[in-house]
A and B are shown apart, each in its own frame.
Chain A
Amino acid sequence: MLKEFYFNKFDNRKPYQAIPDSKIRTLLFQFCGIFTIMLGISYLNWRWQHSLNYEALWFSIPLVAAETLSFIGTVLLVINLWANRDPKQEPPVHYLSDIENLDERPDRPLKIDVFIATYNEDVELVRHSIVDAKKITYPFQDVNIKIFVLDDGRRDGRDPSKENMKTVAEEEGVKYVIREHNAGYKAGNLKNALELTSGDLFVILDADTRVFPEFLMNTSGYFRKKQVAWVQTPQWFYDLTEAEKASDIIKSKLKLSNRIINRTVDFLFGKVKLNDDVFGNDPRLFYDVIMRRRNYYNAAFCCGAGSIHRREAVMSLAVKDFAEGIKKLGEDLARQHKKTSEILEQTNALLLSQEIIPFKFHASEDIYTSIMLHADTENKWESIHHPHIECKMLSTQDLDSRIKQFSRYACGSLDIAFRDNPFFKKGLSLGQKLCYFNTIWSYFAPLWLIVFLLSPIVFFFTLVPPVSAYNFDFFKHFLTFQIMNTITVTLGCWGISTKRGNQYYISSFWFMLVALFSAAKGEKVKFNVTPKDRPLAKNTQHIIPHVVIIALTLLGIAYNVVLLVTGNHPTASGFAANAFWCLFNLFSLSIMIRATFYKPIDTSQK
């Protein structure tokens, strides 16, 4: 009998279907994309040349610079979403010759390993993943499919205070792998497993990843193409918070019991729904739109869980890195005019001590390894983003965990930007460079978001406009660009809602800013394991910057309303523009506060 968890009630949820491709929609998006870029150039040209407030350049220049940086992101997004090319699904592979050129080697049925990486998760939660992995079906009986639990928590019974993961693995009849240290975190854990196993293909799953039985049937066929290094499937979180009726929230918070009042509340707020995916976890936009469209440029990157890899690809990269490390040392020593014997001695020592590392030891090991594989001009590795959902996972269940997870992604990506920027990486095609740069550029967003959030506040309290005039010319340029941009994004996202994504993009400015400073200082990125259970405590520290900005904005609006009413406001159109802008900011920032104090309605009391 499996242990009951909070997510058991969501077990019957069905995944979304990948949106079918449409050529007409793509052409329409491309037209709108070009038009948006033209309008953006026209707007920025007007902003820089005709709209600067020369009496307040301290205010005017940062705003227009922020708008320019933001526009670069818009252009990169249009490039990313330019076209769709779904990969052709092939029947499952059977023999080694289906995926490799044997060159006189004897042929044999394939070996496939399934890795379930775990660290400190509840062992019974991991059992769910093992049970589902055991249900994987494959049409060929002689293909050897092995399941391995990779336990980086060393829960093999030596420490009685810890749960026993080894026992669970033995009970389920799967292999159990541990190591005596945690070097390289998840990447190190996978490296250790690859050293001990021999599968031609291997699947990476997290402790909470529950694969569907058809996972291998639907993904292994892509490896018929010899250049395919990995296939990533969309990560689907099946435990996202459900939308709640606003009337139910009000009744629950105020503990209303009067029937008439309850009916009135139902009548007034019954149609309004709130708190769907309150933590902004839903990755559909990322997988079904951004990653899927990257197949066009061969730039879809690996996201870890729910992916299947060709062993040869990651191992060839590891060996290449190893050889380059030795070569580099030899060249460095030769440049220092060291004796040949000394060079040989040191390179030999390195040969013995250096390890072969298939996945880069990095906080963002998935994206970093993907960049390295795509940049391998010798093997010309390709990646596939499979559009259909083949597994389900758990999302973060509180804001604290969500922020930690997000900060790790941000720190990891920014670290790559500062150390080994893909834009300047040799071997990547222009399309790949632009797609990777798009991912990294989005983490530089606090540079312009902070200006966008503070500008209306500065205007409200100083009454200094950042533009020369809030006149027809301003609205003509600004509104046409913004409206066209919204149409383009809606078309590009194929109608998938961007509301929550936008809210979290803006309200994550503070955490992205902290990550940016940390990466710029060269601080080592910490690898945080994302918790998979529901916490009890609420951390309100995260929302202090948001509360301060919201308070200042509301205070500024109140002050300006007083000035307007008394006839002392110098520019009413300026107030209107900034107030409208503020509403959008407030709407975005408020999600963090709602998420902090979110508590699902107890339906059992109904």
Chain B
Amino acid sequence: MDYKFLIKPTVYIISILASCWMTLKIETLSPSDFNKGPSFVHKKHSTHIKYQFVSAPLKVTYPPFNKIYLKNLCNAYKDGKIDSTVLDDELTRYISILKNYPANMSMQALNNKEK
């Protein structure tokens, strides 16, 4: 039996699935991801000097639990200095630390405590 008629639908389905997968993969891409994956250049047991390019870490110049810190974080995101992943990490860290403090502690008290 001739199954040639199946070629086109198969190609279309594969195209749709592959396109969806790649689009979703691009969606999750962020600068923080670069250099985390396996590299063709550097082998594990190489005796050569390893050169690693890393993205500049976010410089937190203001102490946490400060309104200015949050504002600075937002501005850094807006100016493109950090991406959404870094922003997300910082906010998660912020919230997790916040959760460790007693619920009745006011923001003012938190700020004072940090100082």
Contacts of A449-498 to chain B: CB distance below 8 A = 468-474, 476-477, 480
Which of A31, A469, A480 is close to B80, meaning CB atoms less than 8 Å apart? A469
A31 close to B83 (CB less than 8 A): no
Q: Give the complex CA separation of A477 and B12 in angstroms.
A: 24
B80 close to A35 (CB less than 8 A): no
Contacts of A354 in B (CB 8 A): none
Contacts of B25-66 to chain A: CB distance below 8 A = 26-27, 29-31
Contacts of B19 in A (CB 8 A): 31, 34-35, 37-39
Contacts of A540 in B (CB 8 A): none
Task: State whether the Cβ of B103 lies closer than 8 Å to any Cβ in chain A.
Answer: no
Apart from A42-B26, A472-B80, A571-B80, 13 more pairs, CB < 8 Å: A30-B11, A30-B12, A31-B15, A31-B19, A39-B26, A471-B77, A471-B81, A471-B82, A472-B30, A472-B84, A474-B80, A476-B29, A571-B79
Task: State whether the Cβ of B18 lies closer than 8 Å to any Cβ in chain A.
Answer: yes
Task: State whether the Cβ of A261 lies closer than 8 Å to any Cβ in chain B.
Answer: no
Q: Which 4 A-B pairs rank lowest in CB-CB distance, beginning with the nearest?
A: A471-B80, A35-B19, A472-B83, A38-B19
Q: How far is the CB of B31 from chain A (nearest CB, A)?
A: 5
Q: How far is the CB of B24 from chain A (nearest CB, A)?
A: 8
Task: State whether the Cβ of A27 lies closer than 8 Å to any Cβ in chain B.
Answer: yes
Contacts of B81 in A (CB 8 A): 471
Contacts of A6-41 to chain B: CB distance below 8 A = 27, 30-31, 34-35, 37-39, 41
Interface centre among B31, B78, B80, B84 (most CB of A within 10 A): B80
B18 close to A42 (CB less than 8 A): no
Q: How far is the CB of B32 from chain A (nearest CB, A)?
A: 9
Chain A residue with minimal CB distance to B12? A30
Q: Give the complex CA separation of A37 and B80 in angstroms.
A: 26
Which of B15, B22, B26, B77 is close to A476, meaning CB atoms less than 8 Å apart? B26
B78 close to A471 (CB less than 8 A): yes
Contacts of B64-87 to chain A: CB distance below 8 A = 77-84
Q: How far is the CB of A472 from chain B (nearest CB, A)?
A: 4
Which of B12, B20, B78 is close to A38, meaning CB atoms less than 8 Å apart? B20
Contact with A along B2-23 (1 / 0, CB 8 A): 0000000001100110111011
Q: How far is the CB of A473 from chain B (nearest CB, A)?
A: 5
Q: Give the complex CA separation of A152 and B58 in angstroms.
A: 77
A31 close to B23 (CB less than 8 A): no
Chain B residue with minimal CB distance to A465? B78
Contacts of A468 in B (CB 8 A): 78
Q: Give the complex CA separation of A573 and B79 in angstroms.
A: 8
Known: A39-B26, A472-B30, A476-B29. A573 touches B15 (CB 8 A): no
Contacts of A31 in B (CB 8 A): 11, 15, 18-19
Report the contact-size class of chain B (Cβ under 8 Å from the partner): 20 to 34
Chain B residue with minimal CB distance to A474? B80
Q: What secondary structure prevails in chain A residues at the interface with B?
A: helix
B79 close to A34 (CB less than 8 A): no
B31 close to A472 (CB less than 8 A): yes
A34 close to B16 (CB less than 8 A): yes
Q: How far is the CB of A564 from chain B (nearest CB, A)?
A: 14
Chain A residue with minimal CB distance to B7? A27
Contacts of B29 in A (CB 8 A): 476
Contacts of B22 in A (CB 8 A): 35, 38
Q: Give the complex CA separation of A41 and B80 in angstroms.
A: 23
Contacts of A41 in B (CB 8 A): 23
A35 close to B83 (CB less than 8 A): no
Contacts of A37 in B (CB 8 A): 19
Contacts of B12 in A (CB 8 A): 30, 34
Chain B residue with minimal CB distance to A468? B78
Q: Give the complex CA separation of A412 and B108 in angstroms.
A: 69
Contacts of A477 in B (CB 8 A): 26
Contacts of B82 in A (CB 8 A): 471
7 A-B residue pairs with Cβ-Cβ distance under 8 Å, sorted by A, are A27-B11, A469-B78, A469-B79, A471-B83, A473-B83, A473-B84, A476-B29
Q: Give the complex CA separation of A472 and B29 in angstroms.
A: 9
B23 close to A42 (CB less than 8 A): yes
Interface centre among B12, B23, B77, B84 (most CB of A within 10 A): B23
Contacts of B18 in A (CB 8 A): 31, 35
Q: Give the complex CA separation of A468 and B79 in angstroms.
A: 9
Q: How far is the CB of A33 from chain B (nearest CB, A)?
A: 9
Contacts of A39 in B (CB 8 A): 19, 23, 26
Contacts of A573 in B (CB 8 A): 79-80
Q: How far is the CB of A474 from chain B (nearest CB, A)?
A: 8
Contact with B along A182-223 (1 / 0, CB 8 A): 000000000000000000000000000000000000000000
Contacts of B80 in A (CB 8 A): 469-472, 474, 571, 573
Q: How far is the CB of B27 from chain A (nearest CB, A)?
A: 6
Q: How far is the CB of B89 from chain A (nearest CB, A)?
A: 14
Q: Give the complex CA separation of A492 and B82 in angstroms.
A: 37
Contacts of B78 in A (CB 8 A): 468-469, 471
Q: How far is the CB of B29 from chain A (nearest CB, A)?
A: 6
Q: Give the complex CA separation of A127 and B78 in angstroms.
A: 69
Q: How far is the CB of A32 from chain B (nearest CB, A)?
A: 9
Q: How far is the CB of B109 from chain A (nearest CB, A)?
A: 32
Contacts of B79 in A (CB 8 A): 469, 471, 571, 573
B26 close to A35 (CB less than 8 A): no
Chain A residue with minimal CB distance to B30? A472
Which of B15, B23, B31, B77 is close to A30, meaning CB atoms less than 8 Å apart? B15
